[in-house]
Amino acid sequence: MVGVSVRRVFAVYAGPCALCVSMWACSPSKPGTTSRPQELWGDLKPAVSVKELMRDLIDPASDRIFDSVSTVVGPKGRVAKVPKTEEEWDQVRVGAVTLAEGIYLLKIPRPFTPAGDENDSAGPNPSELSPKQILAKLQADPVLWNAKIEALRNVGLEVLDIVKNKRVDELWDASDNLEQACETCHVQFWYPNEPALF
């Protein structure tokens, strides 16, 4: 009987204690500060290279924004294609969320290319930088690397705001802003010998 009552007492107090421990672990260590996610969830480990991340996550997200507005020339002349239905706006929103959140994955140190992939960096006038050259540029100016990431995130946030209010006209400018953010980063860290579009 004693064992049962001890278990009951333990059960009564264990729940609140576990909750207290959980709240303590998740609460800021000082008033007005927040805990860093790494302290709560562990280290962030990349699964793919920068090149693969761009190809399989960031580029498709960007395409949802780029493809949301266009001008089509057909039998009826020039016709503007813009999002009209909820489903079409949903596609733009998915692109914006993925871009705004996904671009921060570039802050996690990771290889720039898959093993053995040297980009188009061979020959006398290579069109692209090698992974080692890209890393050297990042290490020489990490502030610039982070600034390019923030520029892309800002476009994602801009598009999210546009989607909330369905401001079609502003999508054209946002698409241009996205292209500029992508291109100015690529010219710095991928193909600096190409003429800049912006």
Q: How many residues does the chain have?
A: 198
> The pTM is what?
0.77
How far CA 80 is from CA of 84, 94, 159, in Å, comes to: 11, 22, 19
User: H/E element holding 79?
Assistant: strand 77-81
Handedness of CA 161, 48, 186, 179 (dihedral sign): negative
pLDDT, one tens digit per residue, over 54-113 is 999 999 999 999 999 999 898 989 999 999 999 999 999 999 999 999 999 999 999 999
Q: What is the predicted pLDDT for the residue at 197?
A: 61
pLDDT, one tens digit per residue, over 162-196 is 999 999 999 999 999 999 999 999 999 999 987 66
pLDDT, one tens digit per residue, over 102-142 is 999 999 999 999 999 999 999 999 999 999 999 999 999 99
Does the pLDDT at position 17 exceed 50? no
- Cα separation, 26 vs 80, whole angstroms: 50
